[in-house]
Structure 1
């Protein structure tokens, strides 16, 4: 077990508390650097989506995990960033310019959304963000002169300093990975700043934050703007990866997927955003497998144990109808959320911390180490 002896005030805000972090992250970066040269194109494509989803997860975690403001409208912010990039591309605007424009415009929209949300909390704030997402989706479908409506928009190949970067090239992968690393490092520095500490204070107790002189309204708007801006940058990369965007791609289900990223990964640490993105991106092929092969499996089991007067083809047809239902994916996501909330509220990263602590303290580990504590002070209940 490692013991850290702090001898300076800066020890509390170091990005790397000890040399073990340097070794671990150094090895991880080395593996990610050689990945394009040893892995298949399909796995590399999935890694790009992991980077994009993890970037959105970090942005959402700033708002939800660190400031305590719920949001189910981040698919709309992703859409604004994606459509900004696609629109400016039509006028031959260079990539660095429309990439910055996508993030800045989305950040401004996020700040505007944050103002009416100042008086809302809990389920009412969730309803407000869902309404915003529906409004954006409707605007994208009807503002045909800008968005081409339901026909969608084609996104051209990225051009950086005269060099074409394909969506399947290693360069695009390194671009997404580099932006994710920049976002994580920037967020870590943000959390060490007075702004980040104000976010956490608001999350823990708005009453206590006001008593310490924190302008709660100002920092809530800042949180919305920063979170939306990061999501807008990710939206630009998302559009280039898909090469085609339409309003049907930015629905409520996509916002729920972003919530799943931080809920499954762990909403109290940036590691959770990455772990949640890996889980979500890797589970999608499993759902595709279930939709394709589940009918045959059900028919085989039914024919083995007997299924009354129904033939195997009838059973397989019913199973196919169930598996191909539009709500199957959402139902599975809902089941995953319920299971994690009930049995692992700290997410995957919380489970990793428990396992690591178990081996560090063995045989003195206590099962009640991570048990939720009851709150008795009334002022602490206003969260």
Structure 2
């Protein structure tokens, strides 16, 4: 196993903490840039969805994985960002300005939702966010003059300072740039005093308060930043679908987002994108597997929900650190082979939650 020997504080807060990480990330970026010329239009569309959900997952990961606040109504922020972008795009606003407006509006909504987090936590905070999700869904359905109501709303052509963006290729690169910037923003935020305050609140609110960390400020800030990222993802989501309706942002979508970060790996930036890959790739995989299943099972209405639930239960029971946690164990096993011990990970629950971010 490799232990990087650090001699300066700058090495401890460096973006690339392991040797060779910059090389691998640069290679990944090159592959993503070359993806439009390597993948079919369908696969490119799926990668675009992964980038969009990855941005939303980063926000939810920051809230749940790094601050320890529970949210079951995060699809409401996705919907606020989507409808804000649809409303502004119909009036000719350029994309950078409309994206900023969507992020600011959802951040303001996040602060409002974060107020209950100052007094409640755990299951009760989840109930409060769930109620907020129902309220937003009802407002979207009833405010027909702005949202189109239950009939939905068509999203105008995306524009960047007067230049229309009609093709899938241009939208893909816009999503890629937004995903890279959002990832760098979250990584830099986590290695700042603000990010360390988030982690301290997650590990122990009493200890964080005893160190002088104002819980009210940082909890509200976490909700605001998480909602802003969800708003940006919602704006891109609206342009990707070209049509939005209230049922796209219901409780099922919120559960999918929460399941995405749990399966990806709570407390890791990588887990947001791994969870997005899982969430986007599972429906086609289930559809393909139906061809080999008996008709009674393959044509069952709740097959997809059953598979999702079974996978979620399996991860919670067998691998609570998610897909990224499993990758870390596999990497340690390969680095320590043949000196690997069978009980090496038996006491993983005894470590602090902050160990997950390494």
Same fold, TM exceeding 0.5?
yes
The 5-angstrom pairing of residues 30-49 of structure 1 reads 30-49=30-49
- Structure label with greater radius of gyration: 1
Shift in alpha-carbon separation, 1:57–1:6, aligned structure 2, 3 A: same
- 5+ residue gaps in structure 2? 351-358
Note if contact 1:253-1:330 (Cα within 8 Å) is conserved in structure 2: no
Q: Which residue of 2 aligns with 1:267?
A: 266
Provide the C-alpha distance between the structure 2 equivalents of 1:185 and 1:110, rounded to a whole number of angstroms. 21
- Aligned CA distance change for structure 1 residues 319 and 200 (closer, same or farther; 3 Å): closer
Q: Look up the match of 1:380.
A: none
In 2: Cα distance, 1:3 partner to 1:76 partner: 42
Number of aligned residue pairs: give it: 351
- The 1:38–1:230 alpha-carbon spacing in structure 2 relative to 1, beyond 3 Å, is same
Does residue 1:349 correspond to 2:324, yes or no?
yes
Offset at residue 91 of structure 1 (A): 2.0
- 2:93 alignment partner, SS class: coil
Contact 2:118 2:219 in 1 (8 A): yes
Paired position in structure 2 for 1:208:
207
Q: Partners in 2 of 1:250 and 1:328 — Cα distance?
A: 21
Measure the CA separation in 1 of the matches of 2:67 and 2:346. Answer: 23
Q: Which residue is equivalent to 1:97?
A: 97
Counting only pairs closer than 5 Å after superposition, residues 239-278 of structure 1 correspond to structure 2 as 239-278=238-277
C-alpha spacing 1:207/1:367, structure 2 compared with 1 (3 Å): farther
User: Aligned partners of 1:14 and 1:288: how far apart in 2?
Assistant: 42
Could you report, residue by residue, the CA deviation over 1:82-119 in whole angstroms, capped at 9, with x for unpaired residues?
A: 00011112222222221110011000000010012321
Tell me which residue corresponds to 2:314: 339
Q: Deviations over 1:246-276 (max 9, x none)?
A: 0011111111111121111111210111111
Backbone CA RMSD of aligned residues: 1.8
Q: Which runs of 5+ in 1 are unaligned?
A: 299-315, 376-383
Residue in 2 aligned with 1:29? 29
State the 1:18 CA deviation: 4.8
Q: Secondary structure at the match of 2:65?
A: coil
CA contact (8 A) 1:110 1:225 kept: yes
Rounded to whole Å, the distance in 2 between the matches of 1:274 and 1:14 is 21
Say which is worse superposed, 39-48 or 330-339, in terms of deviation: 330-339
- Report the TM-score, using the length of structure 2 for normalisation: 0.93
Check conservation: 2:70, 2:125, Cα contact below 8 A. Answer: yes
Deviation readout 1:21-80 (Å, 9 max, x if unpaired)? 121111111111111012100000000000011111110010000000011111000000
Secondary structure at 1:368 match in 2: coil
Alignment partners' CA distance in 1, 2:334 and 2:90? 56
Match of 1:121, SS state, is coil
Q: Is the 8 A contact 1:133 1:252 kept in 2?
A: yes
Match of 1:361 in 2: 336
Matched residues in 2 for 1:197 and 1:31: separation?
A: 32
Contact 2:93 2:159 in 1 (8 A): no
Residues 326-363 of structure 1, C-alpha deviation per residue, up to 9 Å, x if partnerless?
x4433322221101101111111111111110111122
Under a length normalisation based on structure 1, what TM-score does the superposition of the two structures give?
Answer: 0.87
CA contact (8 A) 1:81 1:102 kept: yes
What's the CA shift for 1:155?
0.4
Residue pairs, 1:1-150, within 5 angstroms? 1-150=1-150
Q: For the residues of structure 2 that align with 1:53 and 1:284, how far apart are their CA atoms?
A: 15
Name the residue aligned to 1:230: 229
Q: Over residues 206-242 of structure 1, what are the superposed CA-to-partner deviations in whole Å (9 max), with x where a residue is unaligned?
A: 1111111111111111100000000001100000000
- Aligned residue for 1:189, secondary structure, equals helix
Instruction: Please state how far the C-alpha of 1:134 moved relative to its aligned partner.
Output: 0.8
